[in-house]
Amino acid sequence: MAKTNVVGALPSSRIGGKKLLTLMSILVVTFMVDSNIGYIADFIPERLVTNKGIALFIGIAVVFAVGGILILQYVKTKTKESRARALHLHASQIGVTIAQYVLIAIIAFVIAQILVTRQYNTVMIAAALSISYGLWIITLALLSRAFLSWLRSSRSNVTVSKSYVMVLILALSMIAYVVNGVTGLATNLIMLQEQPEVVTSTDVAFFPGFDPESFYNQINAVYQISAAVAYVLTWIGTVMLLRRYIHRIGKIKFYAIIGAAMVYYLVTYPLFVLGYFTPTGESDAEVMNNILIFGIATVLSGIIFGAAFLSIARTLQKSSAIREYMIIAAYGMLLFYVAGSAAATQAAYPPFGLASVSFTGLSCYLIYTGLYSSAISVSQDANLRQSIRRSAIKEVKFLESMGSAQMEQELQTRVLTIAKKNSDIMTEETGVQPSLSEDDMKQYLEEVIKEIRVKKA
């Protein structure tokens, strides 16, 4: 008999799994091209100002606009039930949608300026950065607040468990990402102030340099440290979140995927900060190649995090709520690291990197929706199991006088009634559906009954 989720199956979306994967692949490739051209824009200015260069920038902008709208529609469909119960999810969805359309309008205005006047105002880049990083800061601040709120409400009725610690670690990682977003926005706006107010087709992109003792470098140091802390905590939280599903894909495959992310980071990040691993070279061609390699390498972390979530999600039932949550979280992590690796403050003509950094806010919204829902759903599953175990032990004392068969039937009825009630309460409080189906509850209850029998024997 097919399993039925306690709170019902999720509504279907017009974007299927394969179409969504295709869309994400297009976005990843597009943003990688966009960000890498932006980083080497000062080496190839004469190519970017051509009709082909401008056409490529417009094509990237179109992918940004269409891709963002399709993703918003997908998330809106998949989280309809959650948003109806959790006001913070509903409000954030409306805010992100408005912001995304404003970003589309900003990029469209930049394109119009380039086509008509062959110049653009850097204030447009500042506006796009402020909106996108603002979404980053607000959505992840809401995510950390939601995690901490759940921890406070759960502390009184559940013991400190691995799920509790997992949510705490994820909450701390999101706080670190908020600090990272604030300092990142500050450093970008400071760099942008060094650029001309109007960039023309004759201007060459450049990355401003700053004195080591400057205020910029102090903020940048906080930015780098917060990025490292956020990454490590996210890695730990992700391992704890997905560990219960290891058996579905195998321990070797799981730890190979998730371990690669940490090994890569522990090797490259210290070397980069200490100056041993920098995109430099003896010639312009060598420098360009190193920059491209370095830019592509920074995307690896997002791909690995995304692969870990997707590998788990694909082993779950298609009707499972947590499957959809994990898919959203996977693509959020992927796009966050891809889009977040870009830069627009070099003020290239046209401004390559602008579309990518403008997508950072939306990717944070995907992390917010998917990671929050996944973590809370997993935690609520653990709490439901504890509830079932406590209820079963308690009810056995009242039903011992009955015959064995009659006692088990009555025990199952009472315990499952309590479990369903607890499930409904959790869903109302968090807006997130537990992934345990009624059949899962029955199976776990049978395991508890067997344990009780062994202890009594």
Task: Identify whether residues 348 and 392 lie together within a single domain.
Answer: no
C-alpha distances (whole Å) from 45 to each of 122, 206, 347 are 17, 11, 11
| Same domain assignment for residues 131 and 236 | yes
Residue 251 and residue 215 share a domain? yes
Say if residues 102 and 132 touch (Cβ distance below 8 Å).
no
- Residue at 180 is within a domain: yes
Cα torsion at 28, 20, 171, 89 (round to 10°)?
130
One digit per residue, pLDDT tens: the chain, 457 residues?
Answer: 333 343 333 344 456 678 888 999 999 999 989 988 998 888 888 999 999 999 999 999 999 999 999 999 988 887 765 544 555 667 788 899 999 999 999 999 999 999 999 999 999 999 999 999 999 999 999 888 888 877 776 665 544 566 778 888 989 999 999 999 999 999 999 999 999 999 999 999 888 888 888 888 899 889 988 988 888 898 888 888 777 777 777 778 777 877 776 776 666 555 555 555 555 555 556 555 655 566 565 677 777 778 777 877 777 777 677 788 888 888 998 899 889 888 899 999 999 999 999 999 999 999 888 887 777 776 666 666 666 667 766 665 555 544 455 556 666 676 667 667 766 666 665 656 666 666 777 776 777 767 766 665 5
In a domain, 10, yes or no: no
Closest CA relative to residue 227, chosen from 92, 370, 336: 336
Residue 108 and residue 158 in one domain: yes
Same domain, 361 and 406: no
The helix-helix angle for 122-155 and 360-399 (nearest 10°) equals: 10
- Please give the Cα distance from 349 to 344 (Å, whole number): 10
Provide the domain limits for residue 140. Answer: 17-375
**Is position 113 within any domain?**
yes
Residue 314 sits in the same domain as residue 355: yes
Torsion of CA 133, 135, 141, 142, to 10 degrees: -170
Say if 8 falls within a structural domain: no
375, 402, 417: which is the final residue of a domain?
A: 375
Q: Are residues 169 and 272 in the same domain?
A: yes
Cα–Cα distance, 353 to 350 (Å, whole number): 9
Alpha-carbon distance of 140 to 387, in angstroms, equals 31
Residues 401 and 368 in one domain: no
Q: Does one domain contain both 389 and 364?
A: no
Residue 335 shares a structural domain with residue 392: no
Q: Do residues 402 and 270 share a domain?
A: no
Query: Is residue 104 assigned to a domain?
Result: yes
5 forms bridges with which residues in the sheet?
437
Domain count, the chain: 2
Does 2 reside within a domain? no
| Residue 163 is assigned to a structural domain of this protein | yes
- Asked if residue 392 and residue 246 are part of one domain, the reply reads no
Q: Which of 375, 398, 424 is the last residue of a domain?
A: 375
Rg (CA), the chain: 25
In a domain, 366, yes or no: yes
Domain boundary residue, one of 356, 375, 394 = 375
